[in-house]
């Protein structure tokens, strides 16, 4: 498949804003440790101003995966909505800097660029507060048929279900992909997200070729208690599934095959943020370049191991080099 892009990704365009806070901050500002909450623009501005030393980093699940794909040397494009503001520009620059195309027109009006305000207390139990802002405005008009046709795979973020027009955009992209022979991959994103939109996901599965899910998301989708039960449901489904299990590694399923792939060795686990996003990057890179399911699983595990060994949700080294060193490519 020699198309212009390996992967075109559709997702929420979000800038992460991290700040160290003390326990007083947690109480005063009533943020919740170890959880992700959706907040409105007013609250986002309050928290942003209350944050002291801030670090900003382009984020968003599928956008993180696109950064990982670029690090593997894959050719990619991201589709997502920012506003024409400072954070929106920073988001765009970060993608372009790592070699990912990004041409979605920014919104000139409406809410500001999405941000995830992450309060990091001394015990590192992050309190994530997401203002979806402009990202929710991604709509069908932002889907360019020629771009979908130019990609081996279109990769869709499950979180898009949180906005009706973004879900329409995903369906439009999928319909074009069907016509142009572009494979359709989705990530279930989050077990709460699956809980909110189970029916939408199950309907979408009929058209989808590849699903990414962690253990909790997979069990939530089929409302089963055992990992193996979810695995069997995916095995009976027509597509390819990559099931991630943290330290237990992953299981790659498809075409009657089941591969049990160990987690890659990691010297230290510092921050598991982005593990799923980078796993998807490696797996999609493998699929786009015609590798076997087991090889795709190993590439995903390699990328996940790299990103959890340091702070931040995107790779610190060239994943292409890492994959060469370990003999995977």
Which residues would be at the binding site for a copy of itself (CB under 8 A)? 226-229, 231-232, 235, 248, 251, 256, 258-262, 294, 297
Residue 84 or 266: the one with the smaller Cβ distance to a copy of itself is 266
Contact partners, residue 2, CB within 8 Å, separation at least 6: none
- Tell me how far apart the alpha carbons of residues 281 and 102 are, in angstroms, rounded to a whole number: 17
Q: In the bound complex, what is the minimum distance in angstroms from residue 23's beta carbon to a copy of itself?
A: 33
CB 40 within 8 A of CB 142: no
Closer by beta carbon to a copy of itself, 172 or else 298: 298
Pick from 147, 105, 116, 71: nearest CA to 323:
71
* Nearer CB in complex with a copy of itself: 141/262: 262
* Calpha distance 243→147 (Å, rounded): 28
The least CB distance from residue 264 to a copy of itself, in Å, is 12
Of 261, 191, 204, nearest in space to 230 by CA: 191
Distance separating alpha carbons of residues 34 and 233, to the nearest angstrom: 30
Nearest distance from C-beta of residue 293 to a copy of itself, angstroms? 10
Min dist CB 292 to a copy of itself, Å, is: 10
Shortest distance, position 72 Cβ to a copy of itself, whole Å: 21
Which one, 59 or 286, has the nearer CB to a copy of itself? 286
- Would you say 79 and 143 are in contact if contact means Cβ atoms under 8 Å apart? yes
CB proximity list for 300: less than 8 A, separation 6 or greater = 242, 244, 250, 261, 278, 279, 280, 281, 282, 283, 286
- Nearer of residues 36 and 258 to a copy of itself, judged by Cβ: 258
Instruction: Give the nearest distance from C-beta 272 to a copy of itself in angstroms.
Output: 19
Q: Which distant-in-sequence residues (6+ apart) come within 8 Å of 127 by Cβ? A: 26, 31, 32, 33, 34, 35, 118, 119, 121
Nearer to a copy of itself, 76 or 254 (CB): 254
The neighbour count for residue 291, using CB atoms within 10 Å, is 17
**By C-beta, is 75 or 298 nearer to a copy of itself?**
298
Task: In angstroms, give the least distance from the CB of 249 to a copy of itself.
Answer: 8
């Amino acid at each position: 498949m020699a198309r212009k892009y390996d992967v075109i990704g559709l997702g929420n365009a979000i800038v992460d804003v991290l700040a160290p806070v003390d326990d007083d901050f947690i109480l005063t500002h009533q943020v919740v440790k170890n959880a992700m909450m959706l907040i409105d623009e007013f609250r986002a501005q309050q928290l942003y101003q209350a944050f002291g030393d801030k670090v900003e980093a382009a984020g968003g699940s599928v956008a993180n995966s696109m950064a990982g794909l670029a690090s593997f040397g894959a050719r990619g494009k991201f589709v997502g909505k920012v506003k024409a503001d400072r954070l929106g520009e920073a988001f765009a620059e970060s993608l372009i800097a790592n070699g990912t195309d990004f041409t979605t027109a920014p919104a000139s009006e409406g809410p500001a660029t999405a941000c995830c305000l992450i309060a990091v207390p001394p015990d590192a139990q992050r309190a994530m507060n997401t203002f979806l802002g402009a990202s929710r405005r991604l709509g069908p008009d932002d889907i360019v048929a020629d771009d979908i046709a130019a990609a081996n795979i279109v990769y869709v973020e499950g979180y898009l279900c949180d906005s009706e027009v973004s879900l329409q955009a995903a369906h439009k992209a999928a319909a074009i992909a069907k016509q142009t022979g572009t494979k359709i991959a989705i990530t279930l994103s989050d077990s709460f997200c699956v809980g909110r939109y189970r029916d939408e996901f199950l309907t979408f599965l009929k058209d989808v070729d590849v699903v990414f899910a962690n253990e909790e998301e997979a069990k939530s989708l089929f409302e089963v208690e055992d990992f193996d039960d979810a695995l069997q449901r995916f095995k009976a489904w027509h597509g390819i599934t990559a099931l991630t299990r943290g330290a237990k590694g992953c299981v790659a399923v498809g075409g009657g095959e089941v591969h049990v792939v160990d987690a890659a060795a990691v010297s230290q686990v510092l921050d598991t943020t982005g593990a799923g996003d980078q796993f998807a990057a490696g797996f999609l890179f493998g699929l786009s370049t015609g590798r076997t399911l087991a090889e795709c699983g190993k590439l995903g595990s390699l990328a996940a191991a790299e990103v959890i060994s340091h702070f931040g949700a995107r790779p610190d080294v060239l994943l292409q080099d890492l994959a060469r060193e370990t003999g995977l490519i």
